[in-house]
Structure 1
Amino acid sequence: MTATARAQPNQQDMDHAYRVVAAISSVFSAKVVGQDYLRETLLLGLLTGGHILLEGVPGLAKTTAARVVADAISGGFNRIQCTPDLLPSDIVGTQIFDSTTNSFHTQLGPVHANVVLLDEINRSSAKTQSAMLEAMEERQTTLAGKMYPIPEPFLVIATQNPVDQEGTYPLSEAQTDRFMLKEVLRYPSPQEEAEVVFRIDAGVYDRSATPQPVASLDEIRQLQRIVAGVHMDPVLVHYTTQLVHVTRNPAQFLSPQLARLVEYGASPRASIAFCKAARAAAILAGRNHVIPDDIRNLAQRVLRHRLILGFEAVNINVTPEMVIDAVLQSVRVP
């Protein structure tokens, strides 16, 4: 039985999508200097309903970027600082006893927001991580047997610090797999860093300088429907699944030196992430159809957290990105 194709975006849909995306990008650029890949990655997550994992040292505007996105779409924003003593109830909510009425009432947790920033997710315990990831997957929480839906759109931005690993609980492969994309943040250039200082002096980051929303939540939901209708040729779908297949069978496609370093390849979620993100990337580029470059440009972000390398790779300074480049070279571009 063949699935019914969604209606492809018309010119009116494309014009609307362009206006909304341009407005959000303008608000982002006014607050965050540089970080073009971060802006694009957050937009891809927002337009597809996928969640984002960010890795980078402190001070690279991760919190600012998340708050700006929430402000731009008039959405609720909550920041959760993950610590070893953080409990699942601190995230999803709990039942509180009211002595005046002699009854319990529900207090929903901070996960019930449109944009949720999980700072240093790998500092929370495995039990707490699981509670958060369940909310991400099911889009709801359950308290005292009653289900509470999480508002849509829903975007989780989780950060992890690669420098200080003391007192951390690293995410398991199954947990990282639930993030659609992973972005690695780099230090700004001297010119960009100077611009940050100038903007601080000018009061750009003062709390009173909160930007006005440029898009409603209804418009974001409409954009997500437009993205879902972007045309992706079946040949390109097979291209994405072939890329993922290579990660699972590296000995058949990669050099023996690289193949032996790969312990686990990507799951089917990688193929799904490729297709969803490629459609959103097409919209960002002003197209209503996907091209091969959309997929290739996303390969690092889709696969870097799903490709598990052995300890030998660390010893010889081979990164997942190097293996992903080899995977791209091993598959013919349609």
Structure 2
Amino acid sequence: MNGNDALPASAGPIEKVLYEVKKTVVGQDPLLERMIVALLARGHILVEGVPGLAKTLAVKSLAEAIGGQFHRVQFTPDLVPADIVGTRIYHQPTGEFQVQIGPVFTNLLLADEINRAPAKVQSALLEVMQERQVTIGRETHRVPDPFLVMATQNPIENEGVYPLPEAQVDRFMMKVLVGYPTPGEEFVVVERALAPGAALQRIIDPETLSGLQQAADRVYVDPSLIEFAVSLAHATRDPARVGLSDLTRYITFGASPRASISLVLAARALAYVRGREYAVPQDLTDLALDVLRHRLVLSYEALSDDLTPDDILAKILANTPVPEPVGRGR
């Protein structure tokens, strides 16, 4: 959908939010769709792409459209956990320690270049991503609802970066790869840069978004689709299950059960975004790479053969039987 196109009067709140965001973001439809899916499914996104591809602008525009708070943290090697979650500060007039909360207390948090911070800072996000709460001293504080962490990492630099540990990577529902725009899209980007930026309107509020999340929770997922998600996850651990025993030497560790859960939850939200009350196999296959690619730990042999997780997952998807589409009930 182009930001200049007229929005149909019958458009729902999701379409209106996307229309508003695309007033400032050109292209990047897969990223925007997956950001909405993550919001509805209460997940988090890891985005990988070179600088200058509007990753920050996308999440900031989405925050404005849903009327939520937006905070950005630029990760650097000198950060400490207290810079992220907050700390206790001594208040001299009262003689007491007071809690000063950190930037994670927001609706949309952009963790920019997360792989530039050391492991202890990256791990500071683990509790808030999983439990949606932060423990400072002896007190536990809950973050606002809804809450989405969008972390970015730069794939072209190797010096001064700290790769994310597998335990933290697994907390992200999806890893989205952002590519360069087409020449037509880049022309529009440059054209818009010559004029003042468009003012975005708030389309919904966090309370309305919570209602949309509950509506997405009611989308029907047939047991055959759950079985399909489990089969994909198991095939990453044992490729021989789908007749790909030659891939075994390339995979050190496969996807965890959290991958199966994330794939079903994300597919359910995607079905809702697409206007259906039930999920279909295409919802899962469209998101399979995003949900699974960061959960594979490849062997050195895979690296030497120049194989990527997407290469391996494409073969697994091609060899895993896809169930027949079903509606609400068979």
Structure 1 residue 212 and structure 2 residue 206: aligned?
no
Note the alpha carbon deviations across 1:217-261, whole angstroms, 9 max, x for none: 111000111111100011111111011111111234343443311
Q: Distance in 2 between matches of 1:107 and 1:19?
A: 39
Give the alignment partner of residue 109 of structure 1, picking from 72, 97, 102: 102
For 2:188, the equivalent position in structure 1 comes to 195
Query: What is the distance in 2 between the residues matched to 1:258 and 1:313?
Result: 9
Decide whether the 8 Å contact of 1:71 with 1:210 is kept in 2: no
**Could you tell me how far apart the structure 1 residues matched to 2:304 and 2:20 are?**
42
For residues 70 and 214 of structure 1, the distance between their equivalents in structure 2, rounded to whole angstroms, comes to: 10
Deviation at 1:312, TM superposition (A): 2.0
Q: Which residue of 2 aligns with 1:158?
A: 151
Query: What aligned pairs does 1:170-249 form with structure 2 within 5 A after superposition?
Result: 170-204=163-197, 209-249=198-238
What is the TM-score when the length of structure 2 is the normalising length? 0.92
The answer to whether the aligner puts 1:123 opposite 2:122 as a matched pair is: no
1:137 aligns with 2:130: yes
Query: Counterparts in 2 of 1:1-334, with a 5 A limit?
Result: 19-204=12-197, 209-334=198-323
- The answer for the alignment partner of 1:8 in structure 2 is none
Structure 1: how far apart are the matches of 2:244 and 2:86? 50
The one-letter code sitting in structure 2 at the alignment partner of 1:123 is R
1:202 Cα deviation from its structure 2 partner: 1.6
How far did residue 33 of structure 1 move? Answer: 0.5
TM-score by length of 1: 0.91
- Structure 1 window deviating more from structure 2 (148-157 vs 250-259): it is 250-259
Q: Where do 5+ consecutive residues of structure 1 fail to align? A: 1-16
Does the 8 Å CA contact 1:239/1:333 hold for their aligned counterparts? yes
Count matched residues: 314
Distance 2:267 2:241 in 1: 27
Q: Secondary structure at the match of 2:294?
A: coil
Is contact 1:254-1:326 (8 Å) kept? no
Amino acid across the alignment from 1:238: E
Counterparts of 2:208 and 2:224 in 1: how far apart (Å)? 31
**Which whole-Å deviations, capped at 9, do the CAs of 1:21-75 have from their partners, x for residues lacking one?**
0111001111111011111110111111100000000111010011011111110
8 Å Cα contact 2:21-2:200 kept in structure 1? no
| Structure 2 match to 1:4 | none
Native 8 Å contact 1:114 1:152 kept in 2? yes
In the TM superposition, residue 304 of structure 1 has moved relative to its aligned partner by: 0.5
- Of stretches 161-170 and 94-103 in structure 1, the one that deviates more from structure 2 is 94-103
The Cα offsets for residues 157-213 of structure 1, whole Å up to 9 and x where unpaired, read as 000110012111101111100000110000111211111111111212xxxx44121
Q: Do the aligned residues in 1 keep the contact of 2:220 with 2:279 (CA within 8 Å)?
A: yes
Q: C-alpha offsets along residues 67-91 of structure 1, whole Å, 9 cap, x if unaligned?
A: 0111111101100010111111001
Q: Are 1:18 and 1:284, in contact at CA under 8 Å, matched by a contact in 2? A: no
Letter matched to residue 138 of structure 2? G
